[in-house]
Amino acid sequence: MDASVEGLFLNLARAEDSVSRLDARAQTCGFAEGWATRVDFMEANAWGWLSGEIVDMEDLILHDAEMDARLPDQALRATYGLVRARRRARGLGPELLTAQGAAWLSGHRGEAPALPPSPLAAAAGPDGSAAGHRDLIAELVHQVRTLSRGETADALEAVDEWIQWTRRLPERAPALLRAALALEGWRLVNPLPRQNYVGGVMVAHALRASGRTRSCLLGLEAPRRTKLQPPRGFIAATTVARLAYWLNVIAVGAEMGLGEIKRLELARQVVLRRVGDRRADDRSADLVDLLLARPLVSAPMAAKHLGVAGHTARRLLANLGASVMEVSGRSRYRAWRL
């Protein structure tokens, strides 16, 4: 078997394992909603970094809480769009996978119409022989070459063409391999350059809607920040190398999500053990829930969440111990994280 094809299927095996472990762990996670919210903010922050829209995590979180420290600028609004898109995606099923759904994710008004099951639905794996692998990859490469690129001026028509193209992908290919191909196709078409995160959200949503992932919406932007694109290889790199790259992104994203769950679980146990013997009306446990749901928490956010005064919120934060760290280094507008 060709070395590049063998490497592609090794990346596929790693992605399958990582995604399955993350999904299984998320199903039993006691703070799955809080973890998903954290991933939304981390994804938005990473997408902004990749797109040249550098936005502080604290500004994103304060904007979400409607407690902006300053007037939101265009970069903040654009980056926050990914947080909104991921939240919208978690609330809908396969009906989101339309051109109208993509417009809705990108911030336009309107509702997504009904749609048949996802084109990225789980399917049986390919023939396990080397010849079967080569035939499958040759078919996928051919599908990429048939993709229309930049031939439609209307963005929603281009999105619809991409969706129709994903439905023609061979069903015998594993779901994650088709997801990688769909991500590469979205990159080539680039129908929404100002909201290019929409393609990743739609692919992650399709995997969840089809049942490949049941308890999580995969993050694809944060791993791209640590696993950058192949060197100037958009044209030079082969389609096989591009697919291997996207599978690597999926695997790294799942591993990052699993690592974050494990870290938060350990920190949660340490903090709850510290506050476990306090009186029944103590609000520390509720504060821990907020810390699990947000990468950063300010005193006004904690006060609003708990319904207490600002100085009480600061005292509760200070009493949670070393697992809760102050990260702002300021005397005013202080922020903490778990």
Look up the CATH number of the domain holding residue 326: 1.10.10.10
Is 82 found in the same domain as 53? yes
Give me the residues of the chain with pLDDT under 50, please: 1, 113, 117-118, 121-124, 233-236, 280
Is 294 found in the same domain as 256? no
How many structural domains comprise the chain?
Answer: 2
Is 162 found in the same domain as 14? yes
* 268 in any annotated domain: no
Is 301 found in the same domain as 193? no
The per-residue pLDDT for 213 is: 92
Structural domain harbouring 238:
3-260
3-class SS letters over 139-208:
HHHHHHHCCCCCCCCCHHHHHHHHHHHHHCCCCCCCHHHHHHHHHHHHHHHCCCHHHCHHHHHHHHHHHH
Looking at the DSSP assignment, which residues form a beta bridge with residue 325?
A: 337
Listed residues 260, 292, 319: the one ending a domain:
260
* 267 in any annotated domain: no
* 78 in any annotated domain: yes
Is 239 found in the same domain as 312? no
Q: What is the pLDDT of residues 259-313, one digit of tens each?
A: 999 999 998 888 888 776 655 456 788 888 889 888 888 888 888 888 888 888 8
* 326 in any annotated domain: yes
Look up the CATH number of the domain holding residue 131: 1.10.3290
Is 153 found in the same domain as 29? yes
* CA-based nearest residue to 268, from 23, 1, 21, 32: 32
Listed residues 192, 225, 260: the one ending a domain:
260
Is 160 found in the same domain as 57? yes
Is 176 found in the same domain as 137? yes
* 271 in any annotated domain: no
Whole-angstrom Cα distance, residue 274 to residue 319?
Answer: 9
Is 207 found in the same domain as 133? yes
* 92 in any annotated domain: yes
* 318 in any annotated domain: yes
* CA-based nearest residue to 251, from 222, 215, 287, 286: 222
User: Tokens 């022989």 — which residue?
Assistant: 129
Contact 69, 298 (CB under 8 A): no
Is 14 found in the same domain as 82? yes
* 265 in any annotated domain: no
* CA-based nearest residue to 42, from 75, 50, 104: 50
Residue 336 to residues 33, 299, 309, Cα–Cα distance (Å):
20, 8, 17
pTM: 0.87
Is 243 found in the same domain as 202? yes
Listed residues 212, 232, 260: the one ending a domain:
260
Is 319 found in the same domain as 249? no
